[in-house]
Amino acid sequence: MAKPSHRARGRSRRVALTDTSDELIDQLLAQVQGKDAESVLGESGLAGELKKQLAERMLAAELSDHLEAQTEQGQSGNHRNGTSPKTVLTPNGELMLDIPRDRQATFEPQLVGKYQRRLPRFDDHVISMYARGMSVREIQGHLLELWGLQVSPDLISTVTDEVLAEVEQWQQRPLEAMYPIVYSTRCA
């Protein structure tokens, strides 16, 4: 009988997790019983640690899938090679991750790509605040107040400039000679 693929094994684990989710939550809550909300829900508390562990497990699964695919293609000799620390800006603050590596440096994670320092939702939040008329300094203060993120005005400008270039390009596009419009009314 053939060995189940990494993806098939992941599905069976997902079913098992939903069956025991109440037990798992009870175990986690027992660990933080009597503590304040910040130590449970804060980034430095249980929720932050769960987010970190979940992201690192997802990255490890990505690497396992990558190495398995290489083996199936007949490319052997590549193995795990430790981790590299990486700080990623998320909408909820900084997240310190240990990114897994492979010996041949062919692994390119999808969750947090190489050279990526911000998760996409972070950029969306900055652009949303800018679109609402907040200045770069106001955005900087807002990010610090809400999530404790110390970001430079240059980073905020870089994020907004990326979008502004696309907006200007769209505004300067040549217009079509005619735009067909269908208009219908309902006669009774």
Residue by residue, DSSP assigns 108-142 as --SSS-TT--B-HHHHHHHHHHHHTT--HHHHHHH
AA letter at 174:
P
pLDDT of residue 123: 74
pLDDT of residue 17: 47
Average pLDDT over every residue of 56-73: 90
pLDDT at 131 over 50: yes
pLDDT at 55 over 80: yes
pLDDT band at 105 (very low <50, low <70, confident <90, very high): very high
The predicted model scores a pTM of 0.58
